[in-house]
């Protein structure tokens, strides 16, 4: 018995030593590894990434516009410059005290981690939206898209736009955006959901959305169907739920039915950066929706745009799309 125990102890010690050596090796690599920093700009309001993707697919300058909050600093100026270069009309609320929001993106093996410093992105005020020159953009728009992140910033702005869309027979679209939005901002989310003609999300967000409502299912098709059948505001006819699942098929629920659409499969060695893939999907989807195309074409365009994005560093696009 002693001999057996001694052998086991020796094996455990050897395993511990091997683990320590591996950890030291990893720490050494991390300590001396080179970290490349490539700044990218974004705000959390009316997500410009979706708007850029939409404009890129349409190739029509001025076809999209957005509002958000920036600081009066170099990053804010960069935001203005990039929006103009992309052909997107941007009406910013410029906060006097907070710096422009920034986000550090760490990409390892094509997968991303985000560290956000929202700053001015948290400071948007509905007073800016109500200004005549800004509300004119809302009046002019036929399709209005808002990211769920904005629920943490200015829910009253969302309500104003949502009610306007319902009263004027406009299409109002919204994204679940993140699991924590579904979990911790449910009340604000519940208030605006009845106005949404389209709800976008990924499988993780959809599962949390279902969990907090006690639906007791993790089946994405069932969840999408339930989302599409949630109560509608007066004047709204129906809702379409669109749930992406990474490399798995896109799930679309409409009129009590569920359809799935395959994505464009990509060899792992071609995967560069997943950052912005979901935003690109929505941008591509919207580019065909505003042209009056059917759901199948909208999903196909979304999958194409997402496929392009994940093969490039950051949320960047080539000069022109190759989509038919």
Whole-number pLDDT of residue 30: 44
Structural domains in the chain?
A: 48-97+123-310 (3.40.1190.20)
Query: How many other C-beta atoms can be found within 10 angstroms of the C-beta atom of residue 61?
Result: 12
pLDDT in tens, 216-233: 999 999 999 999 999 999
Structure tokens at 98: 């907070």
3-class secondary-structure state, position 262: coil
> CA torsion sign, 29 to 34 to 37 to 38?
negative
CB neighbour class for 15 (10 Å; exposed up to 12, middle 13-18, buried from 19): exposed
Q: How confident is the model at residue 119 (pLDDT cuts 50, 70, 90)?
A: very high
d(Cα 303, Cα 12) in Å, to the nearest integer?
49
Q: Is the pLDDT of residue 319 over 60?
A: yes
* Close Cβ partners of 319 (under 8 Å, ≥ 6 residues apart): none
Query: Angle at which helices 277-289 and 295-309 pack, to 10 degrees?
Result: 150
Can you read off the two tokens belonging to residue 213?
């409502």
At 323, the pLDDT band (50, 70, 90 cuts) reads confident
How many residues does this entry show for the chain? 324
H helices of 2-90, in order, are 2-32, 48-58, 74-85
Closest CA to 174 of 286, 69, 93: 286
Closest CA to 286 of 47, 43, 42: 47
Pair 171, 141: CB distance under 8 Å: no
Residue 114, strand partner residues: 105
CA distance 176 to 306: 18
- Residue 49 to residues 3, 188, 222, Cα–Cα distance (Å): 65, 23, 29
Distance CA(313)–CA(9), nearest Å, equals 48
The answer to whether the predicted template modeling score (pTM) of the entire model surpasses 0.85 is: no
Classify burial at 187, counting beta carbons within 10 Å of its beta carbon; exposed 0-12, middle 13-18, buried 19 or more: exposed
* Look-up of token digits 């999958």: 303
| Structure confidence at residue 110 (pLDDT) | 66
- One of 197, 273, 279, 322 is an active-site residue; which one? 279
pLDDT digits (tens, 9 = 90+) for 293-316: 999 999 999 999 998 988 887 777
What average pLDDT does range 41-46 have in this prediction?
39
Q: Looking at residue 112, what DSSP letter applies?
A: E
For the question of residue 187 being annotated catalytic, the response is no
The whole-number average pLDDT for the span 1-9 is 56
Element (H, E) at 173: strand 171-175
């Amino acid at each position: 018995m002693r001999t057996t125990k001694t052998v086991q102890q020796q094996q455990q010690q050897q395993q511990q030593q091997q683990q320590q050596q591996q950890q030291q090796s990893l720490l050494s690599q991390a300590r001396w590894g080179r970290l490349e920093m490539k700044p990218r700009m974004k705000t959390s309001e009316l997500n410009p990434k979706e708007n850029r993707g939409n404009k890129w697919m349409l190739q029509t300058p001025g076809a999209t516009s957005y509002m958000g909050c920036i600081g009066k600093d170099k990053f804010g100026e960069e935001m203005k410059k990039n929006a103009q270069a992309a052909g997107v009309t941007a009406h910013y609320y410029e906060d006097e005290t907070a710096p422009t929001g920034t986000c550090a993106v760490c990409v390892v093996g094509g997968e991303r981690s985000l560290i956000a410093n929202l700053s001015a992105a948290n400071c948007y005020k509905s007073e800016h939206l109500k200004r005549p020159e800004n509300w004119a953009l809302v009046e002019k728009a036929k399709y209005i898209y808002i990211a769920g992140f904005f629920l943490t910033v200015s829910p009253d702005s969302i309500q104003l736009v949502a009610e306007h869309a319902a009263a004027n027979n406009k299409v109002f679209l919204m994204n679940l955006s993140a699991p924590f939005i579904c979990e911790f901002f449910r009340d604000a989310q519940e208030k605006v959901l009845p106005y949404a003609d389209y709800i976008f999300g990924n499988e993780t967000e959809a599962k949390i959305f279902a969990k907090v409502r006690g639906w007791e299912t993790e089946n994405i098709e069932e969840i999408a169907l339930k989302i599409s059948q949630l109560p509608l505001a007066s004047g709204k006819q129906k809702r379409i739920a669109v749930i992406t699942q990474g490399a798995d098929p896109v799930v679309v629920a409409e009129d009590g039915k569920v359809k799935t659409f395959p994505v464009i499969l990509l060899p792992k060695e071609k995967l560069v950066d997943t950052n912005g893939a979901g935003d690109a999907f929505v941008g591509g989807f919207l580019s065909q929706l505003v042209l009056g195309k059917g759901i199948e074409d909208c999903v196909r365009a979304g999958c194409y745009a997402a496929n392009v994005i994940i093969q490039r560093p950051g949320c960047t696009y080539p000069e022109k799309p190759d989509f038919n």
